[in-house]
Structure 1
Amino acid sequence: MPNATTAGGFLATRWGGISLRYWIEDSAFAFAGLCLKALPIETASGLSGMLWRWLGPRLGNRRQRRALANLARAFPEKSTAEHEALAAAMWENLGRTFAETFRLAEIAASDRLTVETPPGYKSDESARVVCAAHQGNWEIAVLAVSSAPNAQPAGVYQRIKNPLVDARVRRMRGFLYPGGLYPKTPTTPRHLIRHARDGGTLAVLADQRDVRGPRVRFFGAPAPSTPFPAMVARTLGLKLYAGEIVRKPHVRFAIRLVEIPVPQTDDREADIIAATAALQAEFERTIRLHPEQWMWSHRRWDRA
């Protein structure tokens, strides 16, 4: 039986403990997926990109302002018009990524991506830590990890507030992470470290703000950054890699992995900070090459 709460109004009506609003959002999400999966993948990606390019700056005003502020910080030499053009292209990339998320299995089974790895990577069966940024279509970055034998990548994701949509998206992504896809919780690092210690590979998006992390240089300013990838690599003696994901025309992608040096000195904390700084510097290098493909709407610095 439905149970209408007094504070939340009609949309707070609950069926089976789930609010009506969540049911509506999940139904809309599922309908969007059906429509996008019914179209050729190039058409679906293009239409979604066009829609987000138009809607993003209008419906996401706070995020649009943040994106423009971040672009002005990162590229002070560019004009306001250039910042706005990059923000519009960023929204289009996000729209394309949204559509392609419904087609992850299709992309994974296709020849739509090329993977470039360092010498010996594809024959190395040891554990490793591979990091990527929210660039191109970051959902497929883990496929570079899987090019190595017995990689069994494990990853972490940020839960979506709507539990129905969260479960649906997790099912869409889950097959990419045979080692497990864990929600971001206080206990998740322990699961990931155990997986790496047992010989599995970690696949982590490591370009977001971490208020408790070291402040390393990113586009010329200190940015709170996650030390977790460097900490795991330094502690367990694993190799650390940064992945570059570049969107190409016609829903094609190029993924390139480069090794990030992890110092092994008597000062463990300094080693972790140095490796974290090197990782973020590599992210900056690749973002500068394709700034329209990075998610500038993140709150990356202390003030943004």
Structure 2
Amino acid sequence: MRGDPLPISGTFMTRNSVSSNNNGLRGSLTVLAFTGAIGLMRLLGPARSSGIGARIVETIGPFLPASRVAMHNITIAFPDMEKNQQKKIIRGAWNNLGRVVGEFSHLRSMTRTSEGPGWEVSGEENIAAAWKDGLPPLFFSAHLGNWEMILPIAGALGLPVGGVYRAASNPIMERLIQRIRGEAGHGTFMFPKGARGARAIIGHLSAGGTMGLLVDQKMNDGIAVPFFGQDAWTAPALAQLATRFQRNIVPIRVVRIGATRFRLECEPALTLPATGERGADQRLIMEAVNAHVEGWIRQEPQQWLWFHRRWPKAVPIPHSA
């Protein structure tokens, strides 16, 4: 099948080989620290791990350079917001990130429950309604709440969903991370970011599978699409896949409703454009997607990952009226 090239193939991430004993020692120590932290978190249980992660990261985070990036992003998104409120959002975002880290080792133990640690679903009927010609819809989400829960929940719901990941530079850590995700995934798939992953995604969709894509990070070889009123470089892969494979698109997000409790919110499928011109349709799809993500962030700004540079450095900070 011929079609548009997927932009994820243009950003292939390679693992750097160890070129010195110092680098090898540093990598080994990193693996030991990571393995020890995972083991400790599993002993502590999900609630305590989440709380400890939150306290540590919320304490250290505001002193890191990423907080300046977050402040710049928030000022672009909310130019009329007072500084104290902006700082509150940044502290909340660090807190949420710390919880995501603390909860990572417990992904496999998080199950569908009515209360306590675990997850629930709202709008599950929207997924069933979005099947088309016997094929499941595509999904998009953002780095909100605990995004690591998306694939485990999808797997538990019986959806043949795949996701894209950026490989860690340390191959041993990479295997550990993917093992944890695999244990929790319930038959879901993970594809590496790059040319090999893009080919595998095409095969997966051709065989009737589906994909869940996080669409809220800057992609330098993407397309400029408005986001909070400013153009942001956005990966068009979701729109390309939807038009190529004739799939519906369902917005989903994992909202944190407690320290280790989440709600997967499934919304009605997007109304897809049909101008007859593929490039125009794809741009309109991504405009709708970015507008959707913006709405989510406005509702829960402390649950979004503000720490990556979403807009080009040249984007001016809007001045309040």
Q: What's the TM-score, normalizing by structure 1?
A: 0.89
Unpaired segments of 5 or more residues in structure 1? 13-18
RMSD between aligned alpha carbons? 2.0
In structure 2, what is the equivalent of residue 15 of structure 1? none
Does 1:11 find its partner at 2:22? yes
For residue 160 of structure 1, what is the amino acid of its counterpart? A
Query: Are the counterparts in 1 of residues 218 and 232 from structure 2 also a CA contact under 8 Å?
Result: yes
Q: Which moved more, 1:140-149 or 1:63-72?
A: 140-149
In 2, Cα distance between equivalents of 1:144 and 1:168: 20
In structure 2, what is the equivalent of residue 137 of structure 1? 146
Secondary structure of the 2:60 match is helix
**From 35, 46, 69, the counterpart of 2:72:** 69
For residue 119 of structure 1, what is the amino acid of its counterpart? E
For residues 1-304 of structure 1, the aligned pairs below 5 Å read: 11-12=22-23, 19-58=24-63, 60-61=64-65, 63-108=66-111, 110-111=113-114, 112-117=118-123, 119=125, 121-122=127-128, 124=131, 126-146=135-155, 149=158, 151-175=159-183, 176=185, 178-258=187-267, 259-303=269-313
In 2, Cα distance between equivalents of 1:282 and 1:121: 17
In 1, Cα distance between equivalents of 2:102 and 2:39: 10
The offset of 1:178, in angstroms, is: 2.6
In 2, Cα distance between equivalents of 1:120 and 1:48: 34
In 2, Cα distance between equivalents of 1:103 and 1:144: 13
The offset of 1:128, in angstroms, is: 2.1
In 1, Cα distance between equivalents of 2:193 and 2:111: 24
Secondary structure of the 2:280 match is helix
In structure 1, what is the equivalent of residue 9 of structure 2? none
For residue 261 of structure 1, what is the amino acid of its counterpart? T
Q: Identity over aligned residues, as a percent?
A: 28
The offset of 1:148, in angstroms, is: 5.1
For residue 226 of structure 1, what is the amino acid of its counterpart? A
Secondary structure of the 1:233 match is helix
Query: Are the counterparts in 2 of residues 233 and 262 from structure 1 also a CA contact under 8 Å?
Result: no
The offset of 1:294, in angstroms, is: 0.5
- CA 1:49 to 1:66, structure 2 compared with 1: closer, same or farther past 3 Å? same
The offset of 1:122, in angstroms, is: 3.9
For residue 282 of structure 2, what is the amino acid of its counterpart? I
CA-to-aligned-CA distance 1:119-166 (integer Å, 9 cap, x gap):
3524755232111101100001224534654x2111110111222211
Query: Are the counterparts in 2 of residues 179 and 200 from structure 1 also a CA contact under 8 Å?
Result: no
Secondary structure of the 2:195 match is coil
The offset of 1:298, in angstroms, is: 1.1
Query: Are the counterparts in 2 of residues 230 and 262 from structure 1 also a CA contact under 8 Å?
Result: no
Q: Which moved more, 1:81-90 or 1:104-113?
A: 104-113
Unpaired segments of 5 or more residues in structure 2? 1-17, 316-321
The offset of 1:250, in angstroms, is: 3.5
In 1, Cα distance between equivalents of 2:210 and 2:39: 33
In structure 1, what is the equivalent of residue 5 of structure 2? none
For residue 154 of structure 1, what is the amino acid of its counterpart? G
In 2, Cα distance between equivalents of 1:279 and 1:193: 21
Query: Are the counterparts in 2 of residues 127 and 199 from structure 1 also a CA contact under 8 Å?
Result: yes
Task: Count residues with an aligned counterpart.
Answer: 289
Q: Which moved more, 1:216-225 or 1:168-177?
A: 168-177
In 1, Cα distance between equivalents of 2:82 and 2:199: 45
CA-to-aligned-CA distance 1:269-302 (integer Å, 9 cap, x gap):
0101111111111111011111001000111111
- CA 1:195 to 1:211, structure 2 compared with 1: closer, same or farther past 3 Å? same
Higher relative contact order structure (alpha carbons within 8 Å, sequence separation ≥ 6): 2
Query: Are the counterparts in 2 of residues 127 and 196 from structure 1 also a CA contact under 8 Å?
Result: no
